[in-house]
Amino acid sequence: MKAILLLLCIAFSAVNVLYSQSVVDQAKSAAGSAGFDVKSLTDGILGILKPKLALTDAQAPKVTSAVSTFLDAKSKILPLLTTNKTAYNQKQTSLFSKLKTALATTLLKNQLNKFMGLKPATNDATNVLSNLFY
């Protein structure tokens, strides 16, 4: 009887440890995606794009919408960055192509060229525009 009770305690402890690790992994995942705040990133990006591209009052809401839509879609593929970088790169390229198409309908040709010229040389975490290009 004592042996059965001991085995049950060990089994319960093992299940508890495994469940606890699962909760820790979920918390880490949530913390990682919480760092990608679409609203604040959109505001930061538009804070740069408005003066650099000389956006008009009519263009600004359309560019804001396009950037926000892009960032929202990107937030859904971010887990691939750690699990499947090739798939992430493919999806990022496709999303960026859609963003560029959306911007092309709003921006003038010289503004779109300026936008493409704003691409950071590397994926720099301190440059908010990196969220668009990388």
pLDDT digits (tens, 9 = 90+) for 6-32: 555 565 555 554 554 544 444 344 434
* Helices and strands per DSSP (H, E), number in the chain: 7, 0
If pLDDT is split at 50, 70 and 90, which confidence band does 36 have? confident
- Calculate the CA dihedral of residues 79, 80, 83, 87 and round it to 10 degrees: 180
Residue 58 tokens read as 């009519």
Residues belonging to the chain: 134
Domain parsing of the chain, residue ranges:
1-34, 38-133
Distance CA 114, CA 61 (A): 18
User: pTM of the predicted model, to two decimals?
Assistant: 0.71
C-beta of residue 99 within 8 angstroms of C-beta of residue 66: yes
